[in-house]
A and B are shown apart, each in its own frame.
Chain A
Amino acid sequence: MPQMNMIQALNSAMDIALGRDPAVVVLGEDVGYFGGVFRVTDGLQRKYGQHRVLDTPIAEGGIVAASIGMAVNGLRPIAEIQFADYIYPGYDQIVSELARLRYRSASAFAAPVTIRTPCGGGIRGGQTHSQSPEALFAHVCGIKVVMPSNPYDAKGLLIASIEDDDPVLFLEPKRLYNGPFDGDPNKPAVPWSTHPRGEVPDGHYTVPIGKAAVVREGRELTIISYGTMLHVAEAAAKALGLDAEIIDVRSIVPLDVETLTTSVQKTGRCVIAHEATRFAGFGAELMATIQERCFWQLEAPIERVCGWDTPYPHAFEWEYFPGPQRVAAALKRVMEAR
């Protein structure tokens, strides 16, 4: 099986989509000739031409709006927003238009647009290159929101997103582009070739949107996470020697409630971890859902491990980041609660 990092896996997904369906187009800032600032679209313009892989003006509102128009006229645009932190000029087009077009027109019109955007911190990007805005989109009705945590899922989920007839916001944890990350920035980087999910088939496959993954089965507690934090939480549980059941949410909207609740009903304990700020973060939705459905099985209060409720500070990246210590403290509290 070929080894791919997440960049290569995403590239392969778009390559396959462009090759299979002439309606698929890629557009975004620097995505064409240059192949993207993270090289995710590298080589695609050379292979498919300038009418399929388009460089755009620096105008996120324009990118999203043009994608909607293209989609309404039969194309399947994959729009790249260079950093999730730069998506806000396109927010009105996403919230008021892309997400609601099907609803307001009673399905007379729909826009199957995939918006890819790198998110998350851990690369010294400061407040303008580190944000995790998934909750801002999860709260919007009519757009799916996904975030892979490994190359295999990245490729399968991206193909599924492109083929989906509804709009999808596809968030790429940029800290994971080149390898998994256990939360310790001082350790040498680990490549994806060391990880089982770095094995990625060359051909077409999908990972279904709306399905969480149980990445480790366990009995003592359930850890629910996604993106970069999945790896951090997994490492923290291992370091504590806990028999944790670890669930990768993968699909934020729609949410695979059954997988989450089945696990918590079994373990009775739950820790939720995400990198985004805590207040009204997606963890709050996860927590509410589990509380509603698992209250009588819970043996301890559910805990959230999140970024602080501040912008992402450049100098305090690792104090902000919900690293191994913060996760471990929460795991211990939840395990010790009687």
Chain B
Amino acid sequence: MPRPSRLHVPHAPARPGEAPDFSYVRLTPAGTVARPDVAAQAADVENLAVDLIRVLDDGHRAIGPWNPHLEVDVLQVGLRHMLLTRIYDDRMLRTQRQGKISFYMKSTGEEAVAVAAAMALRPGDMLFPSYRQQGLQFVRGAKLVDLMCQLLSNTRDMCKGRQLPVMYHSVPGRLFSISGNLATQFPQAVGWAMAAAIKGTDDLAATWIGEGSSAEADFHHALLFASVYRAPVILNVVNNQWAISTFQGFAGGEQRSFAARGPGYGIPGLRVDGNDFLAVYAATEWAAERARKGAGATLIEFVTYRAAAHSTSDDPSRYRPKDDAERWPLGDPIERLKAHLIGLGEWSEARHEALTAELGEQVGAAWKEATTYGTLTEGPRLDRDLMFEDVFKELPKHLVEQRAQLRSERG
């Protein structure tokens, strides 16, 4: 008798109380993956979706064909943006714990995925982030105070109090409004890119999604439209291993990499060390060049680790080992770029310490200023009439009436 069918349930590599186990993460030595021509056919570069593109080796040297050969000052700027992202995240988490903001989401451990990618793109390229790429904001010149005012829902909040914290946007920075709903922005980026191609401009769109939310149908819509129209778009899957309590196996990562979803649609998929600043930069540069040549979209899986909680409402100690992040085999993106710069003789512990202090002061000063425009609980508040605006371009009559009703309610 043949064995009856049996339901397979993905099994997390390690749970609380167990030793971290990352044996499932397929590693490839730095510098060993070939860099094909940017116009390559997806079918010819399927190995890129299996191997891991890495530039920084274990000795923190940049090696191999994917080395983007960046100038030292570019590397230092990258380090600065990543460090600022981390300090900002840490400080904003504390303000949430103090009850100054309602909610926060850190990107700790994933700073390179945002910072290096944004630096490899042009200012005209449109970015459609998820809620964990704050590094994009810094590269695109966002002011700390402006971001904090959004977190505070205060009188200078760019969203006029409508959105949860971290759901930023920037018109001059070409950063699309972040949605609290997952995956929705992924196919929208493809539409933006299709419009760029229709209009005949040289701009591309880039978008980010978690590996967990790549389970949504939106992800597949994005790949399909990007493939059909060869849209100039970069589709980034941030595989940070954990979607709240469910590990990447529940998003389909047990059988094949997320990058491998690309070739199925005729789109090259690159599997990239997301904690390697240089590899992130190089992969994005490759995909951007491909898009601007009219060769179409690229799917990039950045293999990284969500070192912090999903959000301030989450407690990861309930579902994964406490020391998981420390044991992550791809290390920490900031430490690795720092070590690389020190190895080049272009950075030092002392300079790092000084920069940390400088950025900490910047963040502190910005927070002080931001809170003068109000917090959730104290100081000036947004005009409540604003609640009724922007539902439509023009305030319709029924909302005029409801606004009047609220005024009479509150005197």
Contacts and interface: CB of A to CB of B under 8 A. Distances in A.
Interface of A: 29-30, 33-34, 37, 50-51, 54-62, 85-86, 88-89, 124-129, 278-279, 308-311, 313-316, 319-320, 325-326, 329
B188 to A, nearest CB: 15
B319 interface: yes
A310 B246 contact: no
B308 interface: no
A319 B180 contact: no
B391 A326 contact: no
B199 interface: no
Interface stretch (B54-62, B77-85, B156-164, B327-335): B156-164
B216 A89 contact: yes
A313 B181 contact: no
Nearest to A312: B162
15 contacts: A33-B246, A54-B9, A55-B246, A57-B215, A58-B216, A59-B216, A61-B216, A89-B217, A127-B163, A128-B180, A313-B162, A315-B381, A316-B382, A325-B409, A329-B408
Contact of A308 (B9, B252, B314, B399): B399
Contacts of A278: 402
Contact of B410 (A34, A311, A313, A325): A325
A-B pairs, top 6 by smallest CB distance, nearest first, are: A315-B161, A128-B180, A34-B245, A57-B215, A126-B164, A315-B153
B90 to A, nearest CB: 22
Contact of B212 (A58, A60, A314): A58
B356 interface: no
A29 B244 contact: yes
A243 B398 CA distance: 32
Interface of B is mostly: loop
Given A128-B179, A314-B163, A51 B244 contact: no
A309 B314 CA distance: 31
B2 to A, nearest CB: 20
A213 B313 CA distance: 35
B225 interface: no
Given A34-B244, A315-B382, A129 B164 contact: yes
A319 B387 contact: yes
B57 to A, nearest CB: 35
Nearest to A82: B244
Interface of B: 7, 9-10, 12, 15, 102-103, 153, 157, 159-164, 167, 179-183, 212-213, 215-218, 243-246, 250-252, 313-314, 318-319, 376, 381-382, 384, 386-388, 391, 398-399, 402, 405-406, 408-410
Nearest to B388: A310
A33 B245 contact: yes
Nearest to A88: B181
Nearest to B252: A57
A34 to B, nearest CB: 3
A319 B402 contact: no
A309 B215 contact: no
A337 to B, nearest CB: 17
A125 B250 contact: no
Contact of A314 (B161, B217, B388): B161
A85 B180 CA distance: 10
B324 to A, nearest CB: 15
Given A51-B7, A54-B9, A128 B387 contact: no
Contacts of B388: 308, 310
Contacts of A329: 408-409
A301 to B, nearest CB: 15
Given A51-B7, A310-B387, A315 B162 contact: yes
A177 to B, nearest CB: 13
B153 A34 contact: no
B181 A86 contact: yes
Contact of A55 (B162, B250, B376, B410): B250
A55 B399 CA distance: 42
A77 to B, nearest CB: 14
Contact of B9 (A50, A125, A315, A320): A50
A58 B251 CA distance: 7
Contacts of A314: 102, 153, 159, 161-164
Given A128-B181, A308-B406, 14 more contacts: A29-B246, A30-B244, A33-B12, A55-B10, A55-B250, A58-B213, A124-B103, A126-B164, A126-B167, A309-B402, A311-B162, A314-B159, A314-B164, A316-B382
A1 to B, nearest CB: 31
A309 B9 CA distance: 43
A320 B387 contact: yes
